[in-house]
Structures are given as structure tokens and as C-alpha cells.
A and B are shown apart, each in its own frame.
Chain A
């Protein structure tokens, strides 16, 4: 990105003054290096977001921002319905409620070493991954509706997991305001056999070990210590969410003129929050959040089964589950007033600071865990929301490394088989049905996640707690 277009507020904060049709300024959190590497399209897209009706305070780009659809990935924007605010299907994305769930295992790296291959096999056996894979459930209409309304709580009723899992899941596993009748039959049909599946692309399940602690007190509260084995699950609402995204993006594109919304880019398609289309989308999107929460809950159960087969002494508990593609109603301070706003986080993680009532009680004095996925060859991080994150970015942080190279380029640079062998040499076992899929997700195709989280910390978005490195990666 051309830095002459920006004013620099600090080492890690850049501002685009409101100009043209922008209703608010845009703020980008990045180091000079990250901002120079950022696509110019991020500039264009964040400026476009700032033109949308009812936007509050500023449009934000996180340190891992990259070119998305309408909204940049790594974009955060809040809208006030009282001021004609909008909800945007493109501002949430196709993979509604994609997120990360991290599980503690109670075992140390040394105990896993002799069993690593067996655990990789067991996980790959238990968890359906990749294109065309199906789960063991085949939901009928009634079960689908119950799942869409009750999320992970529905999964628990079927025996997938424990009550304590819900305490550590955003919204206690059930997003209120979901409307199953707002979800098309197409979306439902696409989901029938996809519960408990990982998907493909950048989705994965990793067994990781804790290699570094940055914040002892927070790590202790989160139950993390050096050499601990943890499991991180990265996936979303599967076919259902993709179809809801598809359905409503089209509707919003076609109805924008009817609502008098002048779209600078069709992909920004949105509808007033207080309109029939806006309300229907919100109902469907919340149903997709429940689908994602149920999906990660079922996968948690499958991970427990795999561990029970190989390391029966392991006891898997949920550290936290947080999504990074959502639109949620939250209270935030705007111009000194507490306001109820609809906050879009697209490729951005909610990061509530200490004391927020939405944080599980046991962690409330510390702050909300922020789970950041890396790549199959690099570190992942657990961060924690800071008091400052509220004024910086409506309590939001980055979500991952962010791609720096297209899939197309990646397949020209790497071969899947060769990557798998190289990673094996470093002690990382990859299990995937597709070697091209592995090449497309090559670690080198992503930005340096360590640089991204360092900036997130220095910019006051969230603070590093622990660094994790992969040992086993199940890749869809």
C-alpha cells in the first residue's frame, strides 16, 4: 500500500481521513513493513466500507488485513440502526462464524512423542476432512431446525460433549435470534450430511505444543504451560453458511437500489438493519453461527474419541471457542456514549478486555482468549483482550497470518508431497486427502504470523499469552 495516502498516528496506527463519500475515517493497525506489503485493494475496500450508511467512529483494518470481497478480510465496522445502519452479507463473508476452538489435553509433549503417528492416524480416521466428505449424521428437517436454533447446546443433547464445554464457548454455544425459516431449503440441504466435518481450504485441525509463554498470569488462568499439548480446530458453518452467504449476497445486490443504497462495489451488498431483508439475513446468519458452533462441538467429541483410542489418560477440555466472521450486537462507546451497534468482524476476532460480562467467569478478570491460527508449518498464538482494545477497534484483533500469495502462485512454488516430507523432517505430521490442497496452503504463502501478533500487541488490540507450534495437522 502506498503510505503517502495515509497519515501515520503512531508506529502501528495509520489513518485515512474521511474524503469523498466516506462518512468516517478509516484506521489501519500495522507496522510500516506490514502496511507496505498490504494490497492497495485493502485501501480501496476499507474506504468503501467507510461510505456505508450508519457506520460508527471508523472503519478498521487489522494487521493481517488482505483483499477480500467488499470488506477487506481483517475488516471491522460497527453500524447503528438508529442512524440507518446496515448489515452486509459481504461484511460477514461466505464462511459465517468460521472460528477457532482450542482444547487443553492435560498431557505433555514427551508423552505424545511415541504415539504421534498413531494419534495422527486416529484423528484422520475420526474426523471427516476434505472435499465431498460427510459426517456420520444425516439430519432430517426437524433436527436441522433444532440445530439451527440451539447450536452447540443441540450437539450436547445428542451426547457430543459436556456441559463445561459450553462455559468456554462464545454465546454459551447458542446464538440468540436465529431463525431457521430464514434459511433457504438449498442451504439446509447442503448441510444435512456435513455436521462434524472440517471442510477444506484453510481449515484444519492441529495438535500443537506450547513452546513459549509471554504472559505467565494469563497463561496460568488459561491453563497453559510450556510443553503442554493442545488441539486447535479451525472451521466454520460449512455448506450451510456458504449457501446463506450466496443467497443473501444476491438478494442484497438486487435490492440495494430499492433501499436507496448506492454501492461503490456490488460485493459490499447490504440492507438496512431495520428492514425485512436485513432482519431476515440476521436471523439466517445467526442460524449459521449456531451451525458453526454445533460443528466445532461435534468435532470436539470426535477429537476426544481419537485421543481415547490412543492416549486414554488425556482429558480434553475446551479452553475457548471464538469466531472471526460474524455480525453481532454489542454495546460500545462512541463519542462518549454507550451505544448498541451491529459490529461486523470479517476475518477479525472479538477481543474483550478484562471484566467484560461476556467472558467466562473463570477468565473474566484476565480477559477474553483470542485464538490466532498460523499455518501448518508455523506458530499459532493465544492472545488475550486488553482494556485498550475497546477504544482501539471496538474490542477486535487479528485472526491469523493472512495470505500473501494466491493459491495459484502457491501451486507453482510448492508441491504437496515435497512439503509434507519437509514438514515431516521438522517433526510435523500432515494428513490430507489432497496434495494440491497442501501446496495451496503452503506456510510460505502466508504472512509471518509472529509479525502480525506482535503488531496486534503493540497496537493495543490484544496481548500475547502463549506461542504454539504444530505437531500434527489434519488438513481438509
Chain B
């Protein structure tokens, strides 16, 4: 189904961005964009933002990520958890992302660098992305939103 001209205009006006929101003991990550893929990219920046200020992270190394899930929401959790895993085993912080989604599959590229405690002052490590407050879809202004709570 194609979108109407009004929806297209609304989407063009969307500025890709990320934000955190409060959740009891932990923190919610939200990505907003013109497509699911862009919302996923921004949600990943929000994930990096839980650990440090993403602008402090240089894109020195690239990591490739593949995920597959039965629905877009589980795919978001898988994508974020894949990043949590890569950051943990590589001792890196990943803060720039490019995502392609085709059907149930996600191909992602992530850039970042080794954790540098003095420069990044990492606040907290993320234990995992959760199914709490999990949402992937369009908001009332037509922007794509990808969000969930992460456990820290």
C-alpha cells in the first residue's frame, strides 16, 4: 500500500533523532526516523547514549551485524542485543549505524572504537534490551518510532 501525499510530506518533515525516556530503575531508548531502518539506527544511537555521549565516540572500526526475527519488534530487540553483545566482547562502544531491513532480516553496519575510560567516561554497561515498552511503528505525525527499555 502506498502512502498518501500528505503522509509523504509529513515523513519528509521528520528529522531523524533519538531520545531517552524514564523507566523506573532503568532507561528507555527511542529512535525516530523516516523509515523503520532509520528508527532502528537512531534507537542504536540512543543505546550508545546510555553508555556515553555518542559524539565522543570515533568511528575507527566497523562491525557487521545480521539479525532475523519473526516480527519487527522482536527484530528491534535482537538488533539492540546484538550491539550489546558486540560491544561487550570487543570492549568497544559503537555509536554510528546504518541499517537495511528486508522482510524479517536486518543487515546492519556499526562503527565505533575501543572503550577509553578517560575519554568516554562510560556511565553504565547495558545488560540487555527488553520487551518492556517495546514498540515499532508510526506515530500520529507519520514518523517511524522504534523503542524499548534497556536493563542496566
Contacts and interface: CB of A to CB of B under 8 A. Distances in A.
A266 B121 CA distance: 34
Determine chain B's interface SS by DSSP, over half rule: mixed
Interface string B117-152: 100011111011111101000000000000001011
A167 B5 CA distance: 72
A190 B85 CA distance: 7
Contact of A130 (B22, B122, B127): B122
B14 interface: no
A246 B79 CA distance: 12
B2 interface: no
A239 interface: yes
A245 B128 CA distance: 8
B59 interface: no
A407 B121 contact: no
Contacts of B51: 131
Contact of B151 (A69, A250, A409, A434): A69
Nearest to B121: A434
Interface in B49-101: 51, 70, 74, 77-78, 81, 84-85, 88-89, 91
A259 interface: no
B126 to A, nearest CB: 8
A66 B25 contact: yes
A440 B27 CA distance: 11
B125 A254 contact: no
A199 B131 contact: no
B7 interface: no
B12 to A, nearest CB: 30
A134 interface: yes
A134 B91 contact: yes
Contacts of A67: 23-25
A190 to B, nearest CB: 5
B81 A131 contact: no
A266 B89 contact: no
Nearest to A244: B128
Given A73-B25, A132-B117, A190-B85, A254 B123 contact: no
A146 to B, nearest CB: 21
A373 interface: no
A68 interface: yes
B151 A94 contact: yes
Nearest to B19: A408
Nearest to A192: B89
17 contacts: A67-B24, A67-B25, A69-B149, A73-B24, A94-B151, A95-B151, A130-B117, A131-B51, A131-B124, A242-B88, A267-B131, A402-B25, A406-B24, A433-B117, A434-B121, A437-B121, A440-B123
Interface of A: 39, 41, 66-70, 73, 93-95, 130-132, 134, 186, 189-190, 199-201, 239, 242-243, 245-246, 249-250, 253-254, 266-267, 269, 402-403, 406-409, 433-437, 440
Given A131-B125, A239-B88, A254-B74, 15 more contacts: A66-B24, A73-B24, A131-B117, A200-B124, A201-B127, A242-B84, A242-B151, A249-B130, A269-B131, A403-B25, A406-B25, A433-B117, A434-B122, A435-B121, A437-B122
